Structure 1
Amino acid sequence: MFSGSIPALATPFRDGAFDEAAFRRFVDWQIDNGSSGLVPCGTTGESATLDNDEHHRIIRACAEQAAGRVPVIAGAGSNDTQTALWHIKEAQVAGADAVLLVAPYYNRPSQAGLLAHYSYLAERSELPIMLYNVPGRTVTDILPETVIELHRRFPGKIVSIKDASGDLSRVVTHRMGAGPDFNQISGDDPLALAGYILGQRGCISVTANVAPKLCAEFHAAALAGAWDTARALNEKLYPLHRSMFADASPAPAKYALSRLHDWFGPDVRLPLVNCSEAAKAAVDAALEGLGLV
């Protein structure tokens, strides 16, 4: 259903406001360079500091600009179930193809609470749902038995997971419990190659914001089982993967984009701050090593 290189799109700002013209240009650049899907309003898109009007406007701009060329998986999660449902409904109206629903953060629901939250949304969503498990950010961990039960209850609705737990054994557990047709996507660029071996089909990527063509080539090789090529490309990209987290994400990615494009600004929103000098040096070295600058 979803596969390959799928950037979690950074959100450009100008004078503190969403820069829609730059964002639409960014969407075109991503598609032209081989990205196989797009995620607006994810973690890298700074969804936590977008107001609701901006959130929905960004999804609409992404879907309009993509114009069916690649699937748009709209970030629609919230720690409030009713707000998540609102985002889902707005994403549907905007033309998104699916929604990405992060585990509710801060509240720290139990596994029973997660089952209730996602079941409530699945019963009311007309779009396919990709679960998003990133316990390092949310504290909440969607355990494999919960993932498997949700897919069992809603096989045509809860169809995928973006897993950023860092625990690759879960790929096998999900595959054995939910079946090989349950779509599994990596949330960690450095682990994507290993994830393919175990059963994942792509990555919702930070690095693909900056090097979409190389990331698309890597994922195409992995999908084709061309492991020598995939390994070589993975090692080529690895310094860039590491540099994307040399400071609080997405500041390094936005700094890199500002070096590649004069129309994409480096600014992030508080409480994040722009890249430190040390992080800039790491990004610069990675970009130069790939011949991108």
Structure 2
Amino acid sequence: MSINLKGVGVALVTPFTDGGEVDYPALTSLIRHITAGGVDYMVVLGTTGEPATMTAEERHRVVRHCVAHNPGNLPIVVGIGGNNTAEVIRTLQTFDLSGVSAVLSVTPYYNKPNQSGLYAHFSAVLEASPLPVILYNVPGRTGVNMTAETTLRLAHAFPGKAIAVKEASGNLSQAAYILRDRPEGFFVLSGEDNLALALAAMGGDGVISVSANVFPDTFSCMVHAALAGNVSDAIPLNLNLHEVTDLLFAEGNPVGAKAALAVKGMIRNNLRLPLAPASEALTAKIRTQIDKYGL
């Protein structure tokens, strides 16, 4: 199953009830919200979705729910990664991925493998995956940076299987080398919301966004304008979003996003430990930005 990753993917939050269960009606409403906002695809069970605190049964049910409640028939990407290569492979081979277009797989965290280890890990994952894979480089969370050289080795060695990188190193120079030397058809996606415009201007293909949970219309308009070469139209939208996007990450993700969605009345502001809700001070700042810019 092929997937066009050009544009805006949303790293979906997982709403929870006051009792700590997955809030499926709120999840349905959130999917309708992002669909109406003009996003291009959704990413389920990414870090933003708190899958580390969910049971295997919950993860399966959330994916099946998103497949079944998808009014815009958006392509769906599912996060399947970890720091035990054998376990990642087992999950890829046993997870019900019907209706899913691709997998997002993060660099192994905590173990801190070297570049040879990263290449070997992803080679095994790519060979085992029944679906195309988006490589996910996020050193701020994992403790290890996958270099442009390693990303490009994988992209060239596994054409059609390694289809993209979600580059969240924050290093635009690193992204530039990937853009310069990538094979045809390999997507380069921003993993940093506030660098999405810059990466698009450099020739990138879009973003997998947290902010687009909350402001899908404004964020999508900004990214789509940038990708169309209308940077002058994208700049004011980017500036309006800049501070609130910083605030969404000020106390961790998805802490800020859930606070913002709660301010907008879309979900209950519940997270699973070890994450706790945003402070009152941060929530007040987020509310001020939403009101100020009509977000």
TM range (shorter): over 0.9
1:131 to 2:123 alignment: no
* Alignment check: 8 A CA contact 2:92 2:128 kept: no
Determine which of 8, 11, 14 is the counterpart of 2:11: 8
1:256 to 2:260 alignment: yes
- Shift of the alpha carbon at 1:95? 1.9
Can you list the C-alpha shifts for 1:112-171, whole angstroms capped at 9, x where unaligned? 111111111111212110000000100121111111111111011001000100000122
- Shift of the alpha carbon at 1:199? 1.9
Amino acid at match of 1:237: L
| Identity in percent | 39
* Alignment check: 8 A CA contact 1:56 1:90 kept: no
- Shift of the alpha carbon at 1:90? 4.9
Unaligned runs of 5+ in 1: none
Corresponding residue for 2:167? 163
Matched ranges for 1:133-212 at <5 A: 133-179=137-183, 181-212=185-216
1:285 to 2:288 alignment: yes
- Shift of the alpha carbon at 1:94? 3.8
* Alignment check: 8 A CA contact 1:92 1:126 kept: no
Residue aligned with 1:69, SS: coil
Between the aligned partners of 1:145 and 1:230, the Cα distance in structure 2 is 31
Question: Under a length normalisation based on structure 2, what TM-score does the superposition of the two structures give?
Answer: 0.94
1:268 to 2:271 alignment: yes
- Shift of the alpha carbon at 1:44? 1.1
Residue aligned with 1:162, SS: strand
Unaligned runs of 5+ in 2: none
Between the aligned partners of 1:218 and 1:136, the Cα distance in structure 2 is 25
- Shift of the alpha carbon at 1:27? 1.0
Between the aligned partners of 2:238 and 2:259, the Cα distance in structure 1 is 22
Determine which of 27, 34, 39 is the counterpart of 2:31: 27
Aligned length: 291
* Change beyond 3 A, Cα 1:80–1:236: same
* Change beyond 3 A, Cα 1:189–1:72: same
* Alignment check: 8 A CA contact 2:110 2:142 kept: yes
Between the aligned partners of 1:180 and 1:231, the Cα distance in structure 2 is 28
* Alignment check: 8 A CA contact 1:36 1:71 kept: yes
Matched ranges for 1:215-226 at <5 A: 215-226=219-230
* Change beyond 3 A, Cα 1:274–1:158: same
Corresponding residue for 2:80? 76
Question: Under a length normalisation based on structure 1, what TM-score does the superposition of the two structures give?
Answer: 0.95
Deviating above 6 A after TM superposition, structure 1's stretches of 4 or more consecutive aligned residues are: none
Between the aligned partners of 2:148 and 2:69, the Cα distance in structure 1 is 36
Residue aligned with 1:218, SS: helix
Between the aligned partners of 2:175 and 2:119, the Cα distance in structure 1 is 20
Over the aligned positions, Cα root-mean-square deviation in angstroms equals 1.5
Residue aligned with 1:149, SS: helix
Between the aligned partners of 2:38 and 2:97, the Cα distance in structure 1 is 26
- Shift of the alpha carbon at 1:43? 1.3
Between the aligned partners of 2:119 and 2:33, the Cα distance in structure 1 is 38
* Alignment check: 8 A CA contact 1:56 1:87 kept: no
1:101 to 2:121 alignment: no
Corresponding residue for 1:51? 55
